[in-house]
Amino acid sequence: MVIVLGLFVTGLLAGILGALLGLGGGVFLVPALTLLFHMSIRTAVGTSLVGVIATSAGVAAMMPPGRGADVGLALRLEVATTAGAIGGGLLAGHVSPRTLGILFALSVFFTAGYTLYKARTRPSTTPETLFTREYTIRHWPFGLGMSFLAGMASGLLGVGGGFIKVPIMYAIMGVPLGVATATSNFMVGITAAASVFVYYGRGDVHPLVVIPTALGIFSGAMLGVRLMSRLRVAWVRSALVVLMIFIGIQMLLHSLGG
């Protein structure tokens, strides 16, 4: 019973952070399940993918009108992301993610730095809001390429890929941060669904682990959506940058350590 409660609370925290930052929650869940509950990496990734789907569903259910995802943008990017997710899920059982992990870490550092640069060079006379529909999407080829890498990250590591997609949409493609977060949460559910069946077929998804964790994530995601409307852009951006740097360092150390 204690373990079940622990899984629920862990999922709750991952759901809150995943909804606020558009990361799906898997980036918090996989380390927690492996370090705190001593699960195998494949079981943790399989559970995380189900949790990512729960986060996406919770955000979609609770997001108020005018604060949702850019569905057109999401569907275009999701073509590349889903292809990457399927490939990553198939490779996960056969190939070490060391080299890919190093590339992901470098891309995370780049996007974190560019996000800070974007914020510093923004005209101070132009107020920045989390949600607006008055924007023009730029740099489609780069966005599609990075979405493919985000899908590979989801399939290989169970992290949802949002830590790549949110800063790319915000800092490079010109999407408002709140819209980028909501769009990412919309996409990560589809991406996770594309690769979770691979893990389920290998026996890496265990109902007794998945059910309490997913319930916690879904509850946390709904709470995170309520908190989002009370936050400022600078707070969300700072949290995103700090988290990206932390993720990048952890991925780099893990990859270099073999």
Instruction: Write the DSSP assignment of 100-169 as a string of letters.
Output: HHHHHHHHHHHHHHHHHHHHHHS-TTS---S--S------HHHHHHHHHHHHHHHHHH-STTHHHHHHII
Looking up tokens 């997609």 gives 165
Q: Give the range among 77-91, 194-208, 232-246 with minimum mean pLDDT.
A: 232-246
What pLDDT digit, counting tens, does each position of 208-257 carry? 899 999 899 888 888 887 777 676 767 777 877 887 787 778 767 776 77
In the Cβ-directed half-sphere of 52, how many Cα atoms lie within 13 Å? 37
pTM of the model: 0.64
- Indicate whether 124 pLDDT > 60: no
pLDDT of amino acid 235: 76
pLDDT value at residue 139: 92
pLDDT value at 119 more than 90: no
Range of the domain at 15: 2-256
How many structural domains are present in the chain? 1
- Structure confidence by residue, pLDDT tens digits, 39-77: 887 788 788 888 778 777 777 666 666 667 788 898 899
pLDDT in tens, 149-192: 878 776 766 565 677 788 889 888 988 887 888 888 788 777 77
